[in-house]
Chains A and B, each alone.
Chain A
C-alpha cells in the first residue's frame, strides 16, 4: 500500500514539473544537442545540402586566424562590461540607499533604460555617437574636438561598453539596493558604537552581507556580456576592422551572412563551453568569498 502511495506521489510530482520540463527539453536541451549535431556537418542553405564532415568544422575553428582576435575582443568587452557595470551599479545603489529627499526619482531615472527596447535604445545612441552627433556637438560647444566614437578601434569598443552599461546598470542597481536594505541595521549601529570608519563598515559589514547578490549579478552580467549581439549589430557591425567583432557577432556573420551554418554551429558550441566553464568557476569560487556559504 505504501508503495502505491509513494508511486502516486512521484507521479504527481512529475505532473507538476512536466510543463517546465517540457519547455526546457524542447527549447533548451534539444536545440543544444542539435547544435552539436549541426557542428559536425557542412550545411549549405542555398544548395540545400547537409553533409556529414566529422570534425572538419572543429579543425577549421582551430585554424581560423580570426578566432583569436574575436576571443580577445570578447574578453575586452566582457571584462570591461562586468567591471564598469558592477562597480557603477554598486556605487549607485549605495548612494541611492541614503535616506535623502529625491532618491526615488533617481532610482526611477537609472532604472528606466532597463525597460526601454534594446534596439531603440541602441539606435538613439548610434545617432548620439555619430561624428556630427549629439555628443560631439556638446563637446564642440565646450571647445573640445571629440573623436569619431564608433569609427576608431579604441573608442568603438568603449562606446559599445558604455551604451550597454547605461542600458542595464539599473537592474543590477536594484538588486544591490534590495541586498543593501536587507543588511540588519543593528550591525551598523554596533559597528559605529565600536568606532568603525564608514569605509571599514562598508568593507567588513556591507560587502560580506551582500556577497550573494554580487555573485548573482556577476554571473548574470558575465553570461549576458558573452551573448551581446544587437548592440554590436546596430552600433558598429563588428568594426572598425574586426575590433568589436565579439563571438556571437562572428557566429552570426558565419552562419547568416556567409551561409556557413555548420561552422556557425561550431562557434556556438565554443560559446556554450566558455559560458559553462565561466559559470562553473564562479560557482566554485562562491565558497571562498560569499559570506553565507562559508
Chain B
C-alpha cells in the first residue's frame, strides 16, 4: 500500500510525492496540517491566531495551514491522498461535497461539534450522510453584486434600486457603463468561461436547474435554462455588458462596473481605491431569489492524527471562534446569523447590506449545483458549453448537447 502510494505520483505525473512515515500511536508533539484555498492575508492571520490559542491550551499540538490554489484545489488534495501524504483536516468546496461525503474519506463529526443544534439545517444538508454530519460548513456565503459606484457615476449611470433592480436593468447599466468608460460591465467572478457553476447566480433567477433535485435528469435543455442562457449570451455578445471569452477584468482592481461574487471577497476592498456598494442579486423573471456557495471542513480518515484533528476542529468551529470567522465566512450557527452580530465583525459592510445580502440570502438561498462525480460532470458541461461562447451560437442546440454529454453520468 505504501509502495503504491509512494510511486503513484512519480509514475503518473513525474512529480515526487512525499511518503508519510509518521507514527500514529506516539503521544509526542503533533503537527496538524489543514489544507485551505485561501492565502488571503487577513484570513491566514485569523486562522493562525485561532491555532495559537489552541496551542496555548494544548502545548503538544501545533497547526499548520496549507493554502492551495482554489482552481486546482480538489485535484491537489486528491493527489496528496494518492501520494500517501494526506492532510489531517481539509476544506472541501461545495462542488465536491457529494464526492467527499459519500466516499467515506472523512470521519463523522457529530461528537466533534459544539452545540450542534445551533446549525441551520439548510446549511448542513449538503454535508450529511445517513443523518451524520461528515463535514462542518464553516462558510455559507451568499452571492451578491458588488458595484463600483465611482465608475457608474463617471458614466452618468445610477444603480437601480427596489423593484427596478432587475436583471434587465442591471445588464443595461453594466452595458452603458462599459461603453462610456472603456472598462468592462458585469463580471461573473471566477467563471472565466470555464467554471460554469459560477453562472448559477444568474440562471437561478429564471428558475433554471442544471439537473433535477434527485440529480438524475439533466436540466440544461429545459425552457428556463434556455431562456436564462439566451439572456446571458445576449448580455455578452449583443449588449456587451459581460466581458467576452478571453477578456480578463478584475472588479477589485477597478476594471469593471460590477461583479457577482460571494461576500467573503469583501476583504479585497479593504484598501479599495474606489467607492462601492454591495447589493443582493437582481430580481429574475421568477422573482427574488438567492444563491449560496459553501465551504466545509472535514477530518480525513487517512490522516495520521484523527483524534487530535477532531479536537482541533471542535475548537476551530466553537461558538467563540465561529463568531470570529464570521467576519469572512458567514457561519452556519443560527444565533450568530443576525445583522447585529455580523456587523460587529464586518466593519466593511453596513447592517442593511448584511441583512439583505447575507441573512436574507442564507434563509432563502439555493446552494450552487453539486453532484457526485463532480469533476467529470463539470468537465463534460464545460466542454459541451464551449460552442456557446461565440456570437452566432445556436443556444438551444448547444444546451441539448450538454444534456447528451452528461445524462449518462447523471443516470449512473
Residues of A within 8 A of B (CB): 27, 30-31, 34-35, 38, 43-48, 50, 129-133, 148-152, 229, 237-242, 251-253, 255-259, 261, 264-265, 268
Contacts and interface: CB of A to CB of B under 8 A. Distances in A.
B26 to A, nearest CB: 22
Given A239-B382, A256-B79, A251 B99 contact: no
Nearest to B76: A256
A14 to B, nearest CB: 25
Nearest to B377: A258
Given A46-B78, A130-B248, A150-B246, A240 B386 contact: yes
Closest 7 CB pairs of A and B: A131-B246, A46-B103, A240-B386, A31-B11, A46-B105, A47-B103, A257-B375
Nearest to B74: A257
Q: Interface centre among B1, B11, B193, B384, by most A CB within 10 Å? A: B11
A253 B72 CA distance: 11
A294 to B, nearest CB: 37
B246 A45 contact: no
A47 B104 contact: yes
A259 B12 contact: no
Interface residues of B, number: 40
B82 interface: yes
B272 interface: no
B248 A256 contact: no
A268 B13 CA distance: 10
Given A45-B78, A151-B246, A241-B386, A261 B8 contact: yes
A52 to B, nearest CB: 13
A252 B92 CA distance: 21
B194 interface: yes
B81 interface: yes
Nearest to A31: B11
Contacts, number: 107
B411 interface: no
Q: Interface centre among B12, B373, B375, by most A CB within 10 Å? A: B12
Contacts of B382: 239
A48 B303 CA distance: 12
Contact of A34 (B7, B13, B301): B7
A38 B4 contact: yes
A131 B244 contact: yes
B316 to A, nearest CB: 23
Contacts of A27: 10
Nearest to B302: A48
A264 B375 contact: no
Contacts of A129: 246
17 contacts: A47-B103, A48-B104, A48-B302, A131-B244, A131-B246, A132-B248, A151-B246, A240-B383, A240-B387, A241-B383, A255-B12, A256-B12, A256-B75, A257-B74, A258-B376, A261-B12, A264-B12
A239 B383 contact: yes
Contacts of A265: 11-12
Contact of B194 (A31, A237, A257): A237
A31 B10 contact: yes
Contacts of B1: 50
A34 B4 CA distance: 8
B301 A48 contact: yes
B103 A268 contact: no
A47 B103 CA distance: 5
Contacts of B7: 30-31, 34
Given A148-B244, A240-B387, 20 more contacts: A46-B99, A46-B104, A48-B302, A130-B246, A132-B246, A133-B246, A151-B193, A151-B246, A252-B12, A252-B13, A253-B375, A256-B75, A256-B78, A256-B82, A257-B375, A257-B379, A258-B376, A261-B82, A264-B12, A265-B11
Contacts of B386: 151, 239-241
A239 B384 CA distance: 10
Interface in B6-45: 7-8, 10-13
A268 B375 contact: no
A46 B11 contact: no
A149 B245 CA distance: 10
B4 A50 contact: yes
Given A131-B247, A237-B194, A256-B78, A251 B12 contact: yes
Interface string B378-410: 010011101101100000000000000000000
